[in-house]
Amino acid sequence: MSASQLESLEKTLETYLPPEELKEVRRILFGNDTKKLELPQSAVEAAAERNFELQGCAFEAAREQLRQPRAVRVGLIQNAIVLPTDAPVMEQISALHRRVADMVEVAALCGVNIVCFQEAWTMPFAFCTREKAPWTEFAESAEEGPTTCFCQELAKKYNMVVVSPILERDEVHGGTLWNTAVVVSNSGTVLGKTRKNHIPRVGDFNESTYYMEGNTGHRVFQTQFGKIAVNICYGRHHPLNWFMYSMNGAEIIFNPSATVGDLSEPMWPIEARNAAIANHCFTCAINRVGTEHFKNEFTSGDGKKAHNDFGHFYGSSYVAAPDGSRSPGLSRTRDGLLVAELDLNLNRQISDKWSFKMTGRYEMYAQELAEAVRHDFKPSIVKE
C-alpha cells in the first residue's frame, strides 16, 4: 500500500473497528465528537459533479447568559494543480482560478463566511526545482494582481472573507518576492497582507532561494466574522509563531501549507492541533493534494538520485479546536472542501477553564528569551 492509496485515516478506522471500540478510539484520538453539519443537497450534488470531497462538521460551545453564540463557518479548500507544470503560466493560473471558483461556489451554498486556500495556490509548488524561470512569473502584486482581483470578485459575490496565499511580487521594494497571504474582506476590500514568518531549509527546499523571512510580524485581521491570522506552512513547526498570533487576539489561525508524506505526515495531525490547545483558539490546517511532476530533474540533497517529483501531497486538511477536539481530515488523495462551523465562544470558555494565558508567566519567558538569544548566552546547566 503506497502512501497515496489510503484514502483517509478516519475512514479506515470506521471500516474495521467495532462500534464500541471505534467510539473510544475516536475519543482518545480526536477528542469530543464534532457534530456532523447538514449541508444543502445542491452543494452535495455540485461537489460530486465537480469531483471533490465535501465534508461538514460543527464545533459547539456551551450556551452563555450574556453572549449569543458566535457561529462562523470556515471553508478549507485543498486541491491538486490542474494543468501540467510546463503548460503556459497564464493557462495554469487561469485553470486554478476556475477550479477554485467552482469550489468556492459550493462553499457559498454551504454558508461559508471565511474561506482559505492552500499555500501558493495559483501555482505548482515549484520551489524544489531551484529554477527561477518560469516560476517567478507566477508572482503577483498582493494589492492589485489578477488573483487578488479574482478574490475580490468572489468576496463581494458571496459576502465571504477570502484568504488567498500567493507568491507576491513587491514592486515597492525593488520587486522582491514574498510568500504572502492576502486577506480580502467580505466587502471586497483588500484588508491587508501577512507574510510567511519562517522559511524552510529542509529536504527538497531552501525556499529562501525565492523569498526571505516575512516582515509583517504577527498581525491579526478583524473581520466581520471574527479575528483571524494566517500562519503560513513551515511556521506551524514554530510554537512561538502560533503563540504570537494568539497574543494579538486571533480567534482562528489558518495554516495554508504544502507538504508531502515522507517528510511530515506524522507531524501533521500534531502541530496545528497542539497550537489550538495551547492558545485557546481554532486552527485550520490546509495542505494541497497530488503529485506534481517537473520537466527537469532536481535533487533533494539527501544522497538519492535526482527526480522529477518530490512526493505525494497528502491533503488531510482539518480544523482543531481549543478543547482538544478536531474535525475529520479531508481525503489524502482528492480535492476537497471542509466546511466547519465554529462557535467562537468556545475559545473564551476553554481559556476560562484551562487558563493557559493566565498561568503562562510570560514576563519570565520574555526575560529568559532575551538572554537566550545573546551570542554569549550561558545555558543553565547543573553539573555534579
Catalytic residue IDs: 119, 196, 233
Burial class (CB in 10 A: 0-12, 13-18, 19+), 302: exposed
Helix (H) or strand (E) holding 99: helix 89-109
Candidate segments 15-23, 93-101, 102-110, 152-160, binder of a second copy by CB under 8 A: 15-23
* Beta carbon nearer to a second copy, 110 or 181: 181
Site for a second copy in 357-376 (CB under 8 A): 358-366, 368-370, 372-373
Report the nearest approach of a second copy to the CB of residue 59 (Å): 13
CA dihedral 196, 201, 206, 210 (to 10 degrees): 20
Instruction: Answer yes or no whether residue 269 interacts with a second copy by CB under 8 A.
Output: yes
**In residues, how long is the chain?**
384
Instruction: Answer yes or no whether residue 191 interacts with a second copy by CB under 8 A.
Output: yes
Cα 183 to Cα 198: distance, rounded to the nearest angstrom: 19
Report the nearest approach of a second copy to the CB of residue 349 (Å): 12
Report the nearest approach of a second copy to the CB of residue 95 (Å): 31
Are the C-beta atoms of residues 287 and 118 closer than 8 Å to each other? Answer: yes
What are phi and psi for residue 271, nearest 5 degrees? -75, -50
Instruction: Answer yes or no whether residue 132 interacts with a second copy by CB under 8 A.
Output: no
Instruction: Answer yes or no whether residue 159 interacts with a second copy by CB under 8 A.
Output: no
Tell me the three state secondary structure of residue 143: coil
Instruction: Answer yes or no whether residue 348 interacts with a second copy by CB under 8 A.
Output: no
Are the C-beta atoms of residues 103 and 337 closer than 8 Å to each other? Answer: yes
Q: Please, which residues bridge with residue 194 across strands?
A: 181
* Beta carbon nearer to a second copy, 132 or 353: 353
* Beta carbon nearer to a second copy, 43 or 199: 199
* Beta carbon nearer to a second copy, 10 or 53: 10
Tell me the three state secondary structure of residue 147: helix
Report the nearest approach of a second copy to the CB of residue 343 (Å): 18
- The residue assigned the cell 488523495 is 333
Instruction: Answer yes or no whether residue 157 interacts with a second copy by CB under 8 A.
Output: no
Cα 327 to Cα 75: distance, rounded to the nearest angstrom: 12
Candidate segments 45-53, 96-104, 134-142, 274-282, binder of a second copy by CB under 8 A: 274-282
Site for a second copy in 277-336 (CB under 8 A): 277-278, 324-325
Site for a second copy in 213-232 (CB under 8 A): 213, 217-223, 227
Are the C-beta atoms of residues 223 and 185 closer than 8 Å to each other? Answer: yes
